[in-house]
Structure 1
Amino acid sequence: MSAPKATILTADEVRRAMTRIAHEIIERNKGAENLALIGIHTRGIPLAERLAAKLSELEGVDIPTGMLDITLYRDDLSEVAHQPIIRETQVPFDLGQRRVILVDDVLYTGRTVRAALDALIDLGRPVGIQLAVLVDRGHRELPIRADYVGKNLPTASSEVVKVKLHETDGVDSVELWDLEDLK
């Protein structure tokens, strides 16, 4: 197997980026009261859980977390899979009195976030919705912007950003790959 073009974030840099995002969330929201974090499958979930733990540590309040599967809300569902894999959506709290922060690993075209917004609104009407991502790689096709970004990474469309997290991959890192090297 070939190697990545570059390691963009090491485990320590991922940790520092998440800590910075937590501080930015607290600053923007004037604390952590009435916040909830919802991770988008797959790697958004552990990132949301990490952010919630850091926010709780910093502010001394419990931050509820949830998980969101956007599969059936995708606008490219017929192109992606004939038999889509539906994963669990779990939002064990009322959205009505909360400011929700959607969490994902990489922001690219914006289509995943658009689908997540549709899925979230079907569950209730939060006070507000914000977006936190570990990596923003550009190339937006929709007018969507993250409120909190761990790393802005301009990329070519022929490149792939691979986020690895300890919870899903056994290690924390962000790597940049050439699409051809992954085939």
Structure 2
Amino acid sequence: MSENRSQVLDHRQVKQKITRMAYEIYERNASEEEVVFAGIAGMGYTLAKLLADNLQQISPINPLVVEIRLDKSSLIQGEVSLSTDVAPANKCIILVDDVLNTGKTLAYSLKPFLEITMKKMEIAVLVNRSHKLFPVSPDYTGLELSTTLNEHIAVDLTQEPYTVYLH
């Protein structure tokens, strides 16, 4: 790969951020018996599974992980669905994505949850770029990173070592 890229987080740092986020989730949801991690297809879903694994190791909370399926290239016309037919009603739901850029993907991913009753919804992202176009703010953030609109964040959690790059 000949393009210029800079490593923002190495494997140890990514794991440390995920562990810290899991502890924060536990602190804010200590009274819950179950928490639903709703990960956006791709790295968001992978991050949701990693957060759930970490939460399970440090707390008695039972994590349930579901995938939010959507077409990121066609958010307006595309269908948004969950990987389960059972709607996680009356639960704390944590919406998870790898990178928060403008908030558009996260805003559209709320669609399946608009018709169910929930205790609360929170948002967790590994990297927040803070280019807000939509009124979406994360409750749990691994890293706040100011970038230009031309720059791109690439998160790879598919296999170890995990990495985050700035292109």
TM-score higher than 0.5 here? yes
The answer (yes or no) to whether the contact 2:70–2:81 under 8 Å persists in 1 is no
> Which sections of structure 2, spanning at least 5 residues, go unmatched?
none
Q: What letter matches 1:134 in structure 2?
A: L
Matched, 1:2 2:2: yes
Residue 96 (structure 2) aligned to one of 89, 98, 103: 103
- 1:111-159 Cα offsets, whole Å, 9 max, x none, are 001101123324x232211000000011110111000000001000110
TM-score (norm 1): 0.82
Paired residues, number = 166
Q: What letter matches 2:29 in structure 1?
A: N
Q: What letter matches 1:74 in structure 2?
A: L
The answer (yes or no) to whether the contact 1:32–1:59 under 8 Å persists in 2 is no
1:89, distance to aligned residue in structure 2 (A): 3.0
The alignment partner of 1:119 has SS state of helix
Residue 91 (structure 1) aligned to one of 84, 97, 113: 84
In the TM superposition, 1:102-141 aligns within 5 A as 102-122=95-115, 124-141=116-133
* Amino-acid identity (%): 30
1:2, distance to aligned residue in structure 2 (A): 1.6
The answer (yes or no) to whether the contact 1:17–1:150 under 8 Å persists in 2 is yes
The alignment partner of 2:63 has SS state of coil
Q: Larger Rg: 1 or 2?
A: 1
Query: By percentage of residues, which structure has more strand?
Result: 2
Aligned equivalents of 1:101, 1:146: Cα separation in 2: 10
Tell me the equivalent position of 2:45: 45
* Cα distance change of structure 1 residues 93 and 18 upon mapping to structure 2, 3 Å threshold: farther
> Which sections of structure 1, spanning at least 5 residues, go unmatched?
78-83, 178-183
Q: What letter matches 2:55 in structure 1?
A: L
Residue 145 (structure 2) aligned to one of 135, 153, 156: 153
Tell me the equivalent position of 1:12: 12
Q: What letter matches 2:107 in structure 1?
A: R
The answer (yes or no) to whether the contact 1:38–1:67 under 8 Å persists in 2 is yes
Tell me the equivalent position of 1:165: 157
Aligned equivalents of 1:87, 1:94: Cα separation in 2: 13
Q: Structure 1 runs of 4+ off > 4 angstroms?
A: none
Aligned equivalents of 2:70, 2:47: Cα separation in 1: 17
The answer (yes or no) to whether the contact 2:10–2:162 under 8 Å persists in 1 is yes
Query: By percentage of residues, which structure has more helix?
Result: 1
Tell me the equivalent position of 2:63: 63
